Structure 1
Amino acid sequence: MRLSRLVSRKRSAQVGIGLGVTAVHLALFAALGLVKASAPDQEPSPHMQVTLVPITLEPPPPPPPPPPDPAPRAGGGAPSAPSVLRPTPAPKAPPELPAPPRPAPEQPLVIGVSPDPTPSPQPAAGQGGSGAGVGGGDGDGVGPGRGGTPPMILRGPTTAEILAIVPPEARRARRAGRASINCVIGLDQRLGDCRVVSETPAGFGFGEAGLRAAPYFRYRPPTSPSGAPIPGQRATITVLFGRQ
């Protein structure tokens, strides 16, 4: 019995407390309503002033640079072909010409002004033709014949030099003539120890004029089969003096 009474008393106390709290809440709500109702009697607030402030827009930042190209990676292609070194072909030697079985006979040299009295369309002094040539070769062979090279003329007197040594007697008589001289060919290609072999016609001084023409000549001396020059070789030269 006592326990039930205690329980009922506690419940009555709790109910009383709840009713008191509710009454307090209602009183607060009523006070707030009175405050809100008296708010219109207050003086109105002044108008608001708005100030516009210009905003400076900054330029947009530049776009970022493009990404760099990726570095090439080694490999990927076929290997290059190996280099080929091509040697320069050796020059071909010219074919060796066989030596004639019998050498040609040496012809006497004739240099000077032609004695032909036939006038030309335009009269003028002229010099007879002269030839010069060189040759060479090497090799071994077996056969008949002789080695070495004969003497060869390198230079003869010009037409002006021939006219300068014409004998005075032939110039006065307007006679043409010739002289043959025999000289030693020196190793310096000059003629020496010259002597008169013949002169035509005689008595006009063509022999002496032929000797005066010797210093204008240059000869290559003959050579031995080994190619060495042979000293003391003599040659016969005919000098022509045309009509004056």
Structure 2
Amino acid sequence: MTDRASLPKIDRAKGVRIGVWTFMVVVHAALFAMLGLVNPAPVQIPAMPPLFVTLEPPPPVPLPPPPAEPAPVAGGGAPAAPSRVHLPVKPPELPPEIIAPPKPAPTQPLIVGAAPVATPIPGMGQGGEGEGTGDGIGDGDGPGRGGTPPLILKGASTAEILSIVPPEARRARQAGRASINCVIRVDERLDDCRVVSETPVGFRFGEAGLRAAGFFRYRPPMTASGRPIEGQRVTISVQFGRQ
């Protein structure tokens, strides 16, 4: 007979482990068998109310805003001229027609002789006739008296005309002309000057022509005996060139 103490220690340890595992398997099997015999109470699930789903149309999509107008750009061309309404020219009114009377007015008789009351309008009369003689010596001042006409002695030089050009004409580089009528004095100067015409208008060529008259010198007209005649008027023309 074999003694247990003589068995190897390795086999005895192995047998102990097998026994422990076997015991644990039996215990677990008994526990599962006991759990299967127990009937757990069923879990009551509360009833859920029915759900109602309402389908609504989607909200309208807003339209995009209109594009912003570009801001006006400063500057540009000149503003447009205001419009004008041209109305037809009204024809001149004709004077009312004068209807001749059915009976002509009586003709006044022609009276020859002096009127008792003087009238401002000379009438048609007949002058008397007379005879008379006379003689005399002297220079006449009327038409046909003879002598010499006025004569220009000095005109305005180019430098003098340039010194009196109007500023408006100088800025616009505008040429022009002025006609001036003056009285010739005995000292050969011009006096009592007035503007006859200026071309073009609006550049003060007339005023400049009046100043230019101070540069002119005229010899007055002379009688046949050489006596100067004062008061004779003369018209001068002043030409203003383009600056």
- The TM-score by the shorter chain falls in which range? 0.3 to 0.5
Compute the TM-score of the two structures, normalised by the length of structure 2.
Answer: 0.40
User: Which structure exhibits the higher relative contact order, with contacts defined as CA atoms closer than 8 Å and separated by 6 or more residues?
Assistant: 1
